Structure 1
Amino acid sequence: MALINRVSRLFRADMHAVLDRIEEPDLLLKQAIREMEAAHAEDEQRNKLLKHELSQLESRQQVCQKKLDAMEVELDICFHSEEEALARKLIRRKLETEQLSEQLEARQHSLHQKVSELAQRLQENRIQLESMRQKSQLLDENQQDFSSKDYQEISTPTIQDADIEIAFLREKQKRSRS
């Protein structure tokens, strides 16, 4: 039984080594960059949606506050006119509006936390993505250097007699000045 386990382990290890050689690291890196870019774009979209929802909540909160202010004035009028039944109905609406305002405020607080966490994650991902892009660029440059060296034969430069004469005259002129 132990022998079969060892043989199967060796076979799996050899298969993994073969697969590692087949896979090209530059293609895997480019795929990882594409996936990171997609995730980053998704997070940015989510951030925009959260900020939009937050602005909507803030506007609803302002509407609630205006209603509460108006209800205060109406309550003053009801109590001044001694309309207690109407005042009770108004107080019910006021309490409902205050509860809604508290819920909106709690939701706003929750969204502020999510937006700040997401902004931090976006910043970290942006840095990591830029690092991966730079690595990919270096890998591409290295491969281009290797490929150009592999396929180009080094030719011996041809020096003509006129080049030799010009260089000779320059060197002679340098030495005559000093």
Structure 2
Amino acid sequence: MALMTRMTRLFRADAHAVLDRLEEPASLLRQAVREMEAALEDDERQRRRLDRQHTQLVSRQAELVRSIETTGRELDICFDAGNETLAKGLVRRRLEAQRLHGALDRRLESVETALAGLDVRLDENRARLEAMRQKAELLATDEPPADDDDETWLERDFGHGLRVRDDEVEVAFLQEQQRRAQS
């Protein structure tokens, strides 16, 4: 069964390749450019979202640092007053804030890593998109007029080297005739 599935996929892929080849390359390139632009916009949206998240995490961390410092001063007051019950509650609050600060540190690190990776990907995709746009422009200027029905897609892609002149046919015919006569 796996062999049949593989064969089906192979034939389907070959059929798609033939269909893609028959379609006009310029339109395929324009479609690829549009898809790359959409992917780039998605990445830029993701970048803005990560930027907002980074800002929120930094702000939350600053709040926690202030809270930990305030709790430390309150603990000093409690110990000076000899109020251990209140001090234990403050110690608990400070420990929770420190753990949350550690979790925020880890999350901030992962966001910064994601931002760095996304920046690299954005730069690469922008360069690729620009190259694709240049290819599309070049192809659009090199494209033959659409009303040229005599020229097939093979001739467009491989040049006029595929055309066989009448004199070439005559020479090849005479050579073949001569070869057969000698046999």
Q: Superposition pairs for residues 92-171 of structure 1, below 5 Å?
A: 92-143=92-143, 146-147=144-145
Amino acid corresponding to residue 65 of structure 1 in structure 2: V
Deviation, 1:142, is 1.1
Deviation, 1:17, is 7.5
Deviation, 1:22, is 2.9
Q: Hey, what's the Cα distance between the residues in 2 that align with 1:23 and 1:141?
A: 18
Look up the SS of the partner of 1:147 in the other structure.
coil
TM (norm. structure 1) is 0.71
Runs of 4+ in 1 over 6 A off after TM superposition: 11-14
Find the counterpart in structure 2 of residue 74 from structure 1.
74
Unaligned runs of 5+ in 1: 1-10, 151-178
Q: Hey, what's the Cα distance between the residues in 1 that align with 2:115 and 2:106?
A: 14
Find the counterpart in structure 2 of residue 39 from structure 1.
39
Q: Hey, what's the Cα distance between the residues in 1 that align with 2:15 and 2:72?
A: 78
Q: Hey, what's the Cα distance between the residues in 1 that align with 2:72 and 2:16?
A: 75
Amino acid corresponding to residue 70 of structure 1 in structure 2: T
Larger-gyration structure (1/2): 1
Deviation, 1:16, is 6.1
Deviation, 1:125, is 0.4
Identity between Structure 1 and Structure 2 (%)? 47
Deviation, 1:147, is 2.7
Find the counterpart in structure 2 of residue 89 from structure 1.
89
Find the counterpart in structure 1 of residue 63 from structure 2.
63
1:91-125 CA-partner distances (Å, limit 9, x unpaired)? 00000000000000110000000000000000000
Q: Hey, what's the Cα distance between the residues in 2 that align with 1:66 and 1:13?
A: 61
TM (norm. structure 2) is 0.70
1:4-24 CA-partner distances (Å, limit 9, x unpaired)? xxxxxxx98996675245311
Find the counterpart in structure 2 of residue 24 from structure 1.
24
Q: Hey, what's the Cα distance between the residues in 1 that align with 2:63 and 2:106?
A: 16
Unaligned runs of 5+ in 2: 1-10, 149-183
CA RMSD across the alignment: 2.2
Amino acid corresponding to residue 129 of structure 2 in structure 1: L
Q: Hey, what's the Cα distance between the residues in 1 that align with 2:13 and 2:62?
A: 65
